Structure 1
Amino acid sequence: MIGKVVALTRAELTGAGYDYEFVLVNDGSTDGTFDVIRSLHEEDPKIIGVNLAKNFGQHNAIMAGLGRTTGDYVMLMDDDMQTHPSQCLKLVREMENGWDVVFAEFPEQHEAWWRRMGSAFTMWTMRTLQHRPKGVESSNFFVMRDYIAKEAAKYEGPYVYVQGILFRITHNMTNVPVEHFDRESGVSGYNLKSLVRLWSIVLNFSMAPLRAAAIVGAALGSIGLIGAIALIIRRLLDPTVAMGWSSLMVTMLVCSGAIIMFLGLIGEYLGRLFMTMNKAPQYVVKEVLDDKADHDE
């Protein structure tokens, strides 16, 4: 499949007069993908291969490739043919209008409904937490300028969300509608657990959840204070009034639940900070196929 993607994309680019370079990252697959990449590199030195020591995840693998790009434009696309090579020139030509990043937008998506809902929730989260430009829909099929790619490659944290990094760098971005094709082979590497994990990485790019915790805590404290004052006044006015055990237990459960939840949130931030400070690897490169690098060394 990777060979077909390369051949079709190369034909599209060269047919329109563009030069090309491919950086193919093997994210720890064990199905012989890197052997195919090696064959492609031997046939065409403009095809660079990067073999990772194990599976680090899609976004970490993207970071492994970004540092090796040299073109004026850098395009990211998957190898499952859903982000089809026939659509790539739509993104490249839109870049000539002065944008820093051009994302593909899929009016009709060939994915399960729960995947579409998850993607919509993630995009809403990113817009809320990172002030993403209104009207811009992010995807894994996009083109960016070289200086954007170089700046993004400077990110060294082990928890990576590429689109979140881009939103930190620039807001000069737009969408181009493209056709979303059916997957030609294999199944998605994302299950519900991995999608939730990817969404949680959004925490790395905003302090809003911690600020929300402080606001909720202040609100609960204020409600508790008001309730306490009301109970004292009621008790003074009518000493025979029995204190409400049920309401007290409900209040304790709600407040305790909120405290535990936000302690867990703070613990997540601290844990990720700990992993970053201890230099947990973003990725580990096992082998690189790049004639230019070999010559330079």
Structure 2
Amino acid sequence: MVSAPPSVPPAAQANLIAQTRSRAGKRLSIVAPCFNEQEVLDLFFGRIEDELGKLGLDYEIVCVNDGSRDHTLAVLLAHHQRNPRIKVINLARNFGKETALSAGLDVTTGDMVVPIDVDLQDPPELISRFLEAWEAGADVAYGVRVDRKADTPLKRFTAQGFYRAFNRLSDVGLPYNAGDFRLMDRRVVEVLRQLPERNRFMKGLFAWVGFRQEAIPYARPERAAGTSSWRYWKLWNFALDGITSFSTAPIRVWSYVGLLVGCLAVGWALVVVVRTLLFGRDVPGYPSLMVAILLSFGVQMLAIGSLGEYVARIYQEVKGRPLYVVMDRYGFEAPKPSPEDASA
């Protein structure tokens, strides 16, 4: 009889990993999506380079220009000329922050990768704490915003509502008030790069991959400069993308709504039959009929709309278009020719 191997508690596993992890000789990749951020870039590079210099690590800063309409690209290229470790991906148009972040992750070469917003609401000084958690055995160290005074009361309220709704509807637990700001081990990034979906809800994907994750609390400051491009309608669509990417509950609930409406209809039909047979009374028809028709029509439209959200996302997936299109790259090595090209 072969005995089962002894199980190792998670804490012991983390200790074993921590004994082999050291930042010495490692490379850190920073990924910064940029959309109309010309006003804040100088401040961002000043803070992030100062912090990276203190860490004593080899590093690269991958900036993804997501179709900016201002002088963001020109500012990025000026900083690239000043510091070759600042690399620039220029997308052919605006693909959205989630896609721009994916484009940056695809080209990173570091042993650890940190996505960060350039508006400095993600303080670069927190990276040192992320590194400490990584050295202690965490595969992902993510920032949790414990103070969101920089946000409006309405945004705080809607954000809390989204996190509650997402965690109730989805099998993937999304940490409350956690954004994209985090440090990820290389193997986590490689798993993320293998995920093929076109609809990228990165917060959900970060949680879905699992691994050992540790929360690092921090107070979120206000934007250092400029204005946010996020508006409430855009945030609403972003929330819909997140929920439909990780839950089928919105479409499943209409089965129960249909069952409930069907039961009510049968019950009302029985009432009509009983009153007519026993009392010989005519039930007033027009008002009740119109209410029933309008209610049924409204329920059907909601159900069709919910179904349409999923069908539209299936349509986006099956087209198989590239996730993004790169116009220019600055600071990256030219791809090596294939053997077929060399022999041609």
CA contact (8 A) 1:23 1:48 kept: yes
- Please state if 1:189 is matched with 2:229: yes
The CA deviation at 1:238 is 1.6
Shifted more, 33-42 versus 77-86: the winner is: 33-42
**3-state SS of 2:63 partner:** strand
For residues 239-278 of structure 1, the aligned pairs below 5 Å read: 239-278=280-319
Residue in 2 aligned with 1:204? 245
Q: Which AA in structure 2 matches 1:150? A: E
Aligned residues: 296
Corresponding position of 1:40: 79
SS in structure 1 at match of 2:214: strand
Note the C-alpha offset of 1:165.
1.6
Mapped to 2, the partners of 1:92 and 1:66 lie a distance apart of 18
**Tell me, which stretches of 5 or more residues in structure 2 are unaligned?**
1-39, 338-344
Q: Identity, % of aligned pairs?
A: 27
CA distance in 1, matches of 2:198, 2:81: 32
Spell out, residue by residue over 1:97-146, the C-alpha distance to the aligned partner (whole angstroms, 9 max, x if none): 33333321222210122222232222223212323437544213222222
Aligned-pair Cα RMSD in Å: 2.2
Distance 1:247 1:100 in 2: 61
**Counterpart secondary structure, 2:216:** strand
CA distance in 2 between partners of 1:215 and 1:57 (Å): 35
Q: Distance in 2 between matches of 1:184 and 1:167?
A: 28
Shift of 1:253: 1.6
Corresponding position of 1:282:
323
Distance 1:99 1:228, change over 3 A: farther
Contact kept, 8 Å, 1:94 with 1:102, in 2: the verdict is yes
Residue aligned with 1:160, SS: coil
CA apart distance, 1:61: 0.7
Is residue 2:132 matched to residue 1:88? no
User: In structure 2, what is the equivalent of residue 237 of structure 1?
Assistant: 278
Give the match for residue 149 of structure 1. 189
Cα deviations by residue, 1:207-228 (Å, 9 ceiling, x for unpaired): 1111112121122212222222
State yes or no: 1:27 paired with 2:27: no
The more displaced of 253-262 and 233-242 is: 233-242
Alpha carbons 2:145, 2:178 under 8 Å: kept: no
CA contact (8 A) 1:136 1:175 kept: no
Whether the 8 Å CA contact 2:140–2:184 is kept in 1: the answer is: yes
CA gap of 1:232–1:259, structure 2 versus 1, over 3 A, is same
User: As a proportion of its length, which structure holds more strand?
Assistant: 2
Q: Structure 1 residue 28: deviation in Å?
A: 0.8
TM-score calculated relative to the size of structure 1: 0.90
Confirm or deny: 8 A CA contact 1:5 1:81 kept in the other structure: yes
Bigger Cα Rg: 2
Higher RCO structure, 1 or 2 (CA under 8 Å, sep 6+): 1
Deviates more, 1:50-59 or 1:113-122: 113-122
TM norm structure 2: 0.78
